[in-house]
Structure 1
Amino acid sequence: MPYRFVVASTLLLLSSLCMAQGPAPAISYTRDIQPIFTEKCVACHACYDSACQLNLGSGEGAGRGASKIPVYDGERSKAQAPTRLFYDASGKAAWQRQGFYSVLDAQGSQAALMARMLELGHRTPLQPNAKLPSEIVLGLSRENMCPQPAEFDAYAGAHPKEGMPLAVTGLTDQQYQTLQRWLASGAPIDEQGLAPSARESLQVAQWENLLNAPGARESLVARWLYEHWFLAHIYFEGGEPGHFFQWVRSRTPSGQPIDLINTRRPNDDPGTQVYYRLWPVQGVIVHKTHITYPLSAAKMARVKTLFYSGDWQVTALPGYGPARRANPFETFEAIPAKARYQFMLDNAEYFVRTFIRGPVCRGQIATDVIRDNFWALFQAPEHDLYVTDPVYRGQATPLLAMPGQNDDVGSVLSLWLAYRDKRNEYEALRRDFYAHAPAPSWSSLWAGNDNALLSIFRHFDSASVTKGLIGEVPQTMWLFDYPLLERTYYQLAVNFDVFGNVSHQAQTRLYFDLIRNGAEQNFLRLMPAGSREDFLDDWYQNSGKFKMWLDYESIDDDKRSALKLDPQGPKKDFVNQLLTRYGELNAKPDPINRCNGAYCSRPNIDPALQDAEQALSRLASRPAAGLKVIEQLPEATLLRVQTASGKREFYSMLRNRAHSNVAFMLGESLRYQPGLDTLTIFPGILSSYPNFIFNVPADQVPAFVEAMQAVRDGASFDRVVERWGIRRSHPQFWQYFHDQTRYLQEVDPLEAGVMDMNRYENL
């Protein structure tokens, strides 16, 4: 029987039942529908990586509908028109002019596409907590199938087990009936936009007044601040829980409705007078795009001190265009470098998150150029020659331009070579100037607040950033100075266009390779003279040596370091001294992965959790050659441990994949060293994209650890999954999945958001 008749019959039955029981209350999108979407749909349908661009985090997204045009296309020769929700169009008709089609509207005698997709899913429930059928493809390898309403019957015939929600425990009967009634009634949307509270409105006005103050100096600072805040989910001191704001450019001043200037990039020519405005973030907060930033009276005082306390002047405001985008050091050279750098250091975690975790929701364009785990440190401004030496700054600034502004496909190679040579000229200049500077010492490292020590973990095509030094001592470390931090931010956040073509994306990826190399070389200058080439040989094995010869400037291995380090293990000694000297800044002490004694758990926590952590430490920081279960684990697994008293903790189990080098865009699998993979186990949620969840009672953690240690192959791992795993088909899947968000709301409410399940695996 065709599915349109099945759906019509179902709706007729529902209507008859409702009439028999009396008139049903009117369904409210805000009260009744969005909560269902938030619970059962948003985990897959949010951000640019929503299947078919169907974003169900808001009424605007549901009304916009779906599109066959993929956002992620690394092979397109021409950039495509942006389709940013709330930015690039408004209302169903405007979106349909951009190629979107409705999933809510009935099509003549046929029910809405969403109704039929939900019916298909409801008719084919999954076997409880069983592995999914092999024909259901999941993850990023799944083809982006986007049937239009007229194509649904063919889709259902070819994919009878792939209704919605896809390959997961579905809607409850009540949720299903509510959605079908709403769709049958025409899918009305009564959503109201989020509005600031009175206290928030006062702070909005104060900040808008600051950024829109008259004067050339004020205008230049405002432009720089906007370009560094445009990705932030702003929250206010004393603001309402769950209220966040974004900085946008508007044609209208404060007090009037925002008339959005929706350029591709935040530093494109606005074409008119600009007013910087704070716009409430609409829709469901999802963790993967939720990069928070605080504004307060103290922050305003800090901004005024940094940028307005000196007597520097602006003689002429810079224009816009490719050259201005390529070199922000020239564009904003009138603003004191010390102010710019210190502002970024104050909230360094935010800035590193913008380009490591990022808002583009699928980062493999860039993440294959970084190691799976490393730590990031920052050079103190008073030891940064770009900040302190105007002669050096003057010579370095023209060399700091970045590629990606010209996306001519035929010019990729010539553009890359030109920017590579310019970057290497800068590295040679830096090497020579620093050779005459005082030898680096502990005072060379910035230690202003707990943003000074960061841990980065790559999870194949996504990555995360966390304050503190987490995990085993990593193979590599990065040391940012101001030119490196600012270039990385502009290259991967401000100037990166997710809708760009293959040339733009390739240039971005290739230059990020140089950025990584620069950060590593900065760090190696802290190591003893004579040891740095040995480190590089370890970091760039095999084909990496050819890349070093071909594309990287040589390192200074002669200039001494003032750090007194053990010559037999200088990096390990550096870490030990770093943890001792800057222990108060280390936001996340880690006794599980770096256990140095008999007790491998955090102090002052529930004894049952201490026992669990002691057991889990036996799995941490061991190579896969001796712990075979690592070969079976995905990138980011969550372990939910609950005590008999009801207290629970989440632990991230991160698989750190080892590579001979990460210096090439292609052929990553050829450089993979699986026997050297390790696990990092740490309390908390360190990825927006969980690949699997284990739920283990605290008193069973030792048995869980023993079972993991005993795994030798897929069959023995399956037994672990059968006992403790939460598969997509688990009857309580959504309870456990959304408990991640509830956990964040309890321990760090500002960072809470719905997690993504597009990468949840079929273990």
Structure 2
Amino acid sequence: MSLRALAAIPLLSLPIMTLAQEISYGWDIQPILTEKCVVCHACYDAPCQLNLGSGEGVRRGASKLPVYNGSRTRAQDTTRLYFDAQGEQAWRRKGFFSVLDGQAALLARMLELGRTNPPQPNARMPEELDLSINRDNQCPLPEEFDAYARKFAHAGMPFAVSGLSDAEYRTLRRWLAQGAPVDEQALLLSAMERRQLAEWEAFLNAPGARESLVSRWLYEHLFLAHLYFEGGEPGHFFQLVRSRTPSGQPIDPIATRRPNEDPGTEFYYRLWPIQGVIVHKTHITYPLSAKKLARVRELFYATDWTVDAVPGYGAQRRANPFETFQAIPVGARYQFMLDNAEYFVRTFIRGPVCRGQIATDVIRDHFWTLFQDPSHDLYLSDAEYRAKATPLLAMPGQFDEIGDLPGLWTSYRDKRNAYERLRQAAYARAPRPDWSHLWSGNDNALLTVFRQHDSASVRKGLIGAIPQTLWLMDYPLFERTYYQLVVNFDVFGNVSHQAQTRLYFDLIRNGAEVNFLRLLPAASRRSYLDDWYQNSGKLKMWLDYQAIDADTPSGLELPVEGAREAFAEGLLARLAPINARPDPINRCRNGACYRKAVGPELQAAEQALSRLVSRPAAGLGVIRQLPEATLLRIELADGRREIYSLLRNRMHSNVAFMLGEALRYQTGLDSLTLHPGVLTSYPNFLFNLRAAEVEQFVQALEQAGRDPAAFEQVVQRWGIRRSHPEFWRYFHDLSAHIRETEPVEAGVLDMNRYQNL
């Protein structure tokens, strides 16, 4: 039967018994969408902006206007679910169209198109089917669907993957036949959650100029968080919003483009329960508790500081938060960020912007991040220096006229370099840096960042081989990075705004690298800098960067030759008690390349897998055939399983330019990092194998580097392709593993980047 004929069958002609059984959206429909649809249809990069993680998103429908458009000359209207419109008709006025209406609803026709052209089990998808993250999504209107189906016969839903089961399909059709009713239940808070919520809202809305300024700073630093109460109900998360209504009344959110824009009316800080499915890529968690509230009070109100009036809002206030919040003790601001440094680094490294190779190509694929101890940060300890530095810390992006881009960029670059000269001179007069200059207050002090082309992730601990670069962030760097990439960044902004953000982030990265160089012997610094900025990078050093201090000695007793490695070894030894993830697999000692805490079966598997890591692609050719984020699912003899992330670290001659990344690849130097757990929100491929097969698997990969056809055999034997009959069971088991090992961090993983190996 043709799609046109199928669509013409009235849904009311379905069997009476089928229609009589009322379908619940919450109990019957959302679980199906979560299982088969949310993996692609969430966040800003949902195809056609169709977000299927909640009833509100389903009712909103789809739009032909993409959020991601790196060439638009004008900023577009924001379309944030729950914030920028309330109710279906409001979304229709913003250009969204229904996928539920009528007997031939788009949702039903897309699902049927997928069933009509199912993939061949565990075979590669057709070459003509574009699976790339930058594919041109068609977003057909109902009257355009027939033409779409003829042209894109293999582009039904779920897209390019094993489809719905018969039972799931029947349930969705019955729901549509009943008019697609949506019933969503609000979270039922426990007594403890209600009590803590009231305490936090009372604190944030306390009267007084000091209180208002602190609450504003806290809001701008926590607006992105999925807040949860320690000891609260599992799966309950909250978002800090500004509301027109006070505590005890329904929340009426104020939707400004950025969180530091004028709310325009009297408002109250409120904790709003997160609605819809928790998606891993946007799930950046932050804990609240009575202990945390006491810590915040201690940090911000322990000293008797005053403020005459709360600053207003405006472009200058957004551009320079150091001036806006200068009345708040600077040590309190920095320490608040350090206490939960992983959260803050995640906000600008992991998400929730969801994609952007133009943004992520400013960082290397693997590096460690450290923080300067507050007692040795001159911005905190030297008021005269702070007064000189503060005006130079303003950031671009508030004005987005295309024609002004060169002038805006030059102005802010010059301010930043003037600050670097000031900083360099001040620190040259300061005590030489030693190990005490590194903050080591808790396990947030040591972080690892992995980049996978157009996404990135952050984990506590020092993971992987000693990286090519390390970052050392002081308070001005940490705060600027957060404001530039999170608070002030507008995903709906135009090309000028996005270019200014990207260009300034390049200066931030350079600043963090140069800070680290101060720890190394003066005579070694230029050689490391030259290694980081090879070829065209030297031009960027001449054009945009401040020269480094290659004269002032370090207080660390490190050799000139191999200084970076000696520093890393010293770091690992001295800060071992707070290193959240010791890594014997990638940093093997005495031939024992496995975790001692696991059983013999996994020890043998890890020992074999360790042969793949920390080797350049020139000696392990299969690296060139592996994607950036491969997951390994190892089945044990007793029925348990372990998950490993196998991450490809691409090497570059430099990461100093916005465009032309492929020209800077050094593929022969690429390497792999293997670590237990799911270290990405975007799996690129999954291999499933028994522990007893790991040795064969490793041997096969070693051979595949010399025989490309052998890699196809590896995929055929152990790979879980998009078309695999049990794809969904294996894919969602990755999320299940996160729930078992890190339940607070659990969320639905994204399959938009799952490759067609």
Pair 1:760-2:754 in alignment: yes
Pair 1:483-2:479 in alignment: no
Instruction: Map 1:200-219 onto structure 2 (within 5 A).
Output: 200-219=193-212
Deviation at residue 294 of structure 1 after TM alignment = 0.2
Matches of 2:22 and 2:186 in 1, distance apart? 21
Deviation at residue 758 of structure 1 after TM alignment = 0.3
Deviation at residue 3 of structure 1 after TM alignment = 1.6
Residue identity matched to 2:383: P
Matches of 2:671 and 2:591 in 1, distance apart? 21
Q: 1:22 to 1:194 in 2, by over 3 A?
A: closer
Residue identity matched to 2:564: K
**2:719 aligned to which of 717, 720, 725:** 725
Matches of 1:9 and 1:653 in 2, distance apart? 49
Q: TM-score, with normalisation over the residues of structure 1?
A: 0.98
Matches of 2:309 and 2:572 in 1, distance apart? 47
CA RMSD of aligned residues (A): 1.1
Contact 1:139 1:760 in 2 (8 A): no
**1:689 aligned to which of 658, 682, 688:** 682
Moved more, 508-517 or 560-569: 560-569
Deviation at residue 297 of structure 1 after TM alignment = 1.0
**2:45 aligned to which of 49, 64, 73:** 49
Residue identity matched to 1:668: E
Please state whether the residue corresponding to 1:639 is helix, strand or coil. strand
Pair 1:677-2:670 in alignment: yes
Deviation at residue 567 of structure 1 after TM alignment = 2.3
Contact 2:443 2:578 in 1 (8 A): yes
Contact 1:689 1:756 in 2 (8 A): yes
Residue identity matched to 1:100: F
Matches of 2:746 and 2:19 in 1, distance apart? 39
Please state whether the residue corresponding to 1:537 is helix, strand or coil. helix
Pair 1:609-2:605 in alignment: no
Contact 2:524 2:561 in 1 (8 A): no
Q: Which residue of 2 aligns with 1:28?
A: 24
Matches of 2:242 and 2:141 in 1, distance apart? 35
Matches of 1:410 and 1:425 in 2, distance apart? 25
Q: CA offsets per residue over residues 498-523 of structure 1, 9 Å max, x none?
A: 00000000000000000000000000
**1:58 aligned to which of 54, 57, 60:** 54
Please state whether the residue corresponding to 1:531 is helix, strand or coil. helix
Q: Which residue of 1 aligns with 2:491?
A: 498
Pair 1:198-2:191 in alignment: yes
Q: Which residue of 1 aligns with 2:143?
A: 150
Contact 1:368 1:461 in 2 (8 A): yes
Please state whether the residue corresponding to 1:680 is helix, strand or coil. strand
Q: Which residue of 1 aligns with 2:67?
A: 71
Return 5+ residue gaps in structure 1 as ranges: none
Contact 1:7 1:119 in 2 (8 A): no
**1:437 aligned to which of 430, 434, 446:** 430
Q: Which residue of 1 aligns with 2:548?
A: 555
Matches of 2:724 and 2:9 in 1, distance apart? 29
Residue identity matched to 2:7: V
Q: Which residue of 2 aligns with 1:637?
A: 630
Q: Which residue of 2 aligns with 1:592?
A: 585
Return 5+ residue gaps in structure 2 as ranges: none
Pair 1:623-2:616 in alignment: yes
Contact 1:623 1:676 in 2 (8 A): yes
Please state whether the residue corresponding to 2:445 is helix, strand or coil. coil
Matches of 1:22 and 1:453 in 2, distance apart? 57
Q: Which residue of 1 aligns with 2:566?
A: 573
Pair 1:746-2:740 in alignment: yes
Deviation at residue 363 of structure 1 after TM alignment = 3.0
Contact 1:4 1:111 in 2 (8 A): no
Please state whether the residue corresponding to 1:463 is helix, strand or coil. strand
Pair 1:428-2:428 in alignment: no
Matches of 2:222 and 2:18 in 1, distance apart? 53
Instruction: Map 1:294-309 onto structure 2 (within 5 A).
Output: 294-309=287-302
Matches of 1:341 and 1:391 in 2, distance apart? 18
Q: Which residue of 2 aligns with 1:714?
A: 708
**Aligned residues with identical type, % of pairs:** 69
Q: Which residue of 2 aligns with 1:165?
A: 158
**2:412 aligned to which of 419, 423, 437:** 419
Matches of 1:754 and 1:142 in 2, distance apart? 22
Deviation at residue 22 of structure 1 after TM alignment = 7.1
Q: Which residue of 2 aligns with 1:387?
A: 380
Matches of 1:59 and 1:747 in 2, distance apart? 29
Q: Which residue of 1 aligns with 2:346?
A: 353
Matches of 2:479 and 2:635 in 1, distance apart? 43
Residue identity matched to 2:737: Y
Residue identity matched to 2:742: D
Please state whether the residue corresponding to 1:60 is helix, strand or coil. helix
Matches of 1:226 and 1:762 in 2, distance apart? 42
Q: Which residue of 2 aligns with 1:365?
A: 358
Matches of 1:68 and 1:710 in 2, distance apart? 46
Q: TM-score, with normalisation over the residues of structure 2?
A: 0.99
Residue identity matched to 1:72: Y
Please state whether the residue corresponding to 1:139 is helix, strand or coil. coil
- Aligned residue-pair number: 756
Please state whether the residue corresponding to 2:734 is helix, strand or coil. helix
Please state whether the residue corresponding to 1:63 is helix, strand or coil. helix
